Structure 1
């Protein structure tokens, strides 16, 4: 999409020629070393998926069992320099990502924690290193190299031991208060189980050729914001995303929040292997009422078009929808889904750092390979505790349990225990 390539250039020129009367991030730079940070992030993940009716062909292991069970440790070293002083600041970001298999086996492999060896087992260790160079003019940053992204149309996933990593150029501009403009071009994506820069599934299979993205978000007030993003992923699709978020304060410690998200996707015939054009529109609307420690949420999501909503080659996190939950995304063709959710923060009851969540989602009218008018439902229960002080400050423990049932294939239970420990060295 040529317009996106020129958008990157236009934004850079505009940032370089604008004269802001107020102080900018670059003018307040302390220096390359002085503003640098070095963090170590550790994650242990135990994951068990129990297929209630046996493997049902879902396991990719050499000896499929009725469940998958794996445990791994991920260690991330993340260095971010400051910017050199002057009109144009220069800096670098660097990372090292390593995973260590603590438990797995051929009969239990397949939860997406590790890449697979020739004999069907998970790799014992994996390591990748990468970096990016970055430039800053005023409040505009241009970065080139390996990086993590969080755009609604190009978002690297981080639901397993290690995150996905993408390679490309990304520009983010905050020259006008409340307005953020972004544009990028990415040419490779590594999966959460593989270190290859052109690997979206951990098996070395090519995926992303290139993706061009643009975006804009604006905060009209402290309580009202809107965003629009678009992408062009070669041989896959053109995707458009919109969001409106409104927060309505009601009384002391009470508020009502509305969050609307929508994707419109036009699929490439190369991807669908069809001779006709195909598209999908999927949207969700969530209303959350918060009252002190309690939050009650209701959400509705609806998918229409020639097929369901697809993502993955543009990042495992590119599904910013209310009913994308622990196991299912409720994104099948023609699917309609409802969610009821409850959150409680125990800090109000004298236990800071402890929180609980439960939600129930039901989807109907699904058009899938097994037939039309199929149904699915999911119940999630979650508890998290973060240590607040002492030598183990910020060490967190999180338990997630999902019960998934449907009318067209096997049911499953998904259990995860996640222990995370971030350390700030610089």
Structure 2
């Protein structure tokens, strides 16, 4: 299977041209333009435990300023437009020996940069409800998703085609050749298999989602990391109303990954899945989830030069850990509270606990290019997260958000060395988006 953007493009265009709705109804290139200025203030502290000879803690505070412009489309059957962005990151506090959170770039001496900036953009064309973009893009899907967990969003260079021509059906096709990490100014950076640490020269994907009803939707995706793997993903999501203010949601995700081409990360034979159920009653939501990895290598996904992407749509991939180690089984219990019914709209709380065990890669055989095999056997770990978030609902500060996140991680010794050392961390994120026009 070779995934490519180009065969799908003429099909989408010819389908569109056959419809009377192809005539654009947009106001125009300028009239539909938007410009948003976002300020994001981010404090990140992580205290590493049981880490002899390693870095004791990471402590960085940074401020980001992002300007995002999105044009409308020229009028006519085929509309053209452009998107552009500029961003500036400023160091507020950090120093040598305290880096590594991913908020700031680090120089050759191990010192954080005082500032960093970049600009980029993309050109786009649209026919009816089918859109093609090329440039610095931020796709988000189960097999290729850029990250937004640090000061800026990581991006990738390539093509993306999205289509909503058919009711309830969304299609997404992409071809990407380079990445730009969230704390980097290099638009020609690497695209990697994150846990293997192996680069690929290109990534192709094809997929989409379909809403069978207001309650049930399904998704299917496939991707190819050239000379590393082919990965397939499926999802089913169902919500059932139980009565006034009550509902039950079931969400199932599954990935199948096999090595391909030159197998630069070694042999891969991995099936990973998760099932979660969430019961909502009034202001409360209670979630129970189970996740399982069947394979002697971890479930792996997109990475950039240093930071991970977000193409791990599994229930137990949370703040710090992914619970994706070889043969790992994990359970999650989560509670969410929305304070709006109690007279404080915009305020919410969340707490969760995930426990994983049965970690075992003692039978791993990756061949001459094997890039995994570090976890040992009988491994265990857990993570506890607590979060509070408030979003201003009205007035001049409307949409200003304040988010405080705390996490604690504990693992058996071999798992900690292979993945993430025991730690306690705090993240404080203040963000204010301002629509200029």
Structure 1 residue aligned with 2:334, among 323, 341, 366? 341
Structure 1 residue aligned with 2:229, among 233, 237, 241? 237
Tell me: CA distance 1:118–1:405, structure 2 relative to 1, closer, same or farther (3 Å): same
User: How much has 1:248 moved relative to structure 2?
Assistant: 0.3
Distance in 2 between residues matched to 1:155 and 1:306, nearest whole Å = 24
Q: Deviations over 1:6-30 (max 9, x none)?
A: 443343333443214xx56x62210
The more displaced of 171-180 and 26-35 is: 26-35
| Runs of at least 5 residues in structure 1 that lack an aligned partner in the other structure | 58-63
How do 1:112-127 residues align onto structure 2 when only pairs under 5 Å count?
112-127=102-117
User: How much has 1:52 moved relative to structure 2?
Assistant: 2.0
Other-structure match for 2:349: 356
Give the SS at the match of 1:189.
strand
Q: Which runs of 4+ in 1 moved over 6 A?
A: none
Tell me: CA distance 1:241–1:34, structure 2 relative to 1, closer, same or farther (3 Å): same
Structure 1 residue aligned with 2:57, among 52, 63, 67? 67
Q: Deviations over 1:102-139 (max 9, x none)?
A: 11111111111112101101111111111111111011
8 Å contact from structure 2 (residues 3, 224) kept in 1: no
8 Å contact from structure 1 (residues 189, 208) kept in 2: no
Asked if 1:14 corresponds to 2:6, the answer is: no
Other-structure match for 2:45: 48
Asked if 1:365 corresponds to 2:376, the answer is: no
Give the SS at the match of 2:270.
strand
Asked if 1:96 corresponds to 2:86, the answer is: yes
Distance in 1 between residues matched to 2:434 and 2:7, nearest whole Å = 38
TM-score (norm 1): 0.92
User: How much has 1:306 moved relative to structure 2?
Assistant: 3.1
Other-structure match for 2:387: 382
8 Å contact from structure 1 (residues 289, 297) kept in 2: yes
Other-structure match for 1:172: 162
Other-structure match for 1:128: 118
TM-score (norm 2): 0.90
Asked if 1:252 corresponds to 2:208, the answer is: no
User: How much has 1:370 moved relative to structure 2?
Assistant: 4.6
Structure 1 residue aligned with 2:423, among 396, 412, 421? 412
Distance in 1 between residues matched to 2:248 and 2:261, nearest whole Å = 43
Q: Deviations over 1:312-336 (max 9, x none)?
A: 3376111111100000000000000
Tell me: CA distance 1:52–1:206, structure 2 relative to 1, closer, same or farther (3 Å): closer
Distance in 2 between residues matched to 1:269 and 1:5, nearest whole Å = 19
User: How much has 1:183 moved relative to structure 2?
Assistant: 1.0
8 Å contact from structure 1 (residues 40, 77) kept in 2: yes
Other-structure match for 2:133: 143
User: How much has 1:271 moved relative to structure 2?
Assistant: 5.2
User: How much has 1:179 moved relative to structure 2?
Assistant: 0.6
8 Å contact from structure 2 (residues 389, 404) kept in 1: yes
Other-structure match for 2:35: 38
8 Å contact from structure 2 (residues 156, 180) kept in 1: yes
Aligned pair count? Answer: 412
Asked if 1:425 corresponds to 2:417, the answer is: no
Structure 2 residue aligned with 1:228, among 220, 245, 249? 220
8 Å contact from structure 1 (residues 54, 67) kept in 2: no
The more displaced of 386-395 and 350-359 is: 386-395
8 Å contact from structure 1 (residues 7, 183) kept in 2: no
How do 1:303-318 residues align onto structure 2 when only pairs under 5 Å count?
303-313=293-303, 316-318=309-311
Distance in 2 between residues matched to 1:349 and 1:38, nearest whole Å = 35
| Runs of at least 5 residues in structure 2 that lack an aligned partner in the other structure | 362-373
Give the SS at the match of 1:264.
strand
User: How much has 1:413 moved relative to structure 2?
Assistant: 0.5
Structure 2 residue aligned with 1:400, among 387, 402, 405? 405
User: How much has 1:55 moved relative to structure 2?
Assistant: 5.5
8 Å contact from structure 1 (residues 193, 201) kept in 2: no
8 Å contact from structure 1 (residues 194, 201) kept in 2: no
8 Å contact from structure 1 (residues 257, 288) kept in 2: yes
8 Å contact from structure 2 (residues 358, 378) kept in 1: yes
Distance in 2 between residues matched to 1:344 and 1:110, nearest whole Å = 32
Across the aligned residues of Structure 1 and Structure 2, the Cα RMSD in angstroms comes to 2.0
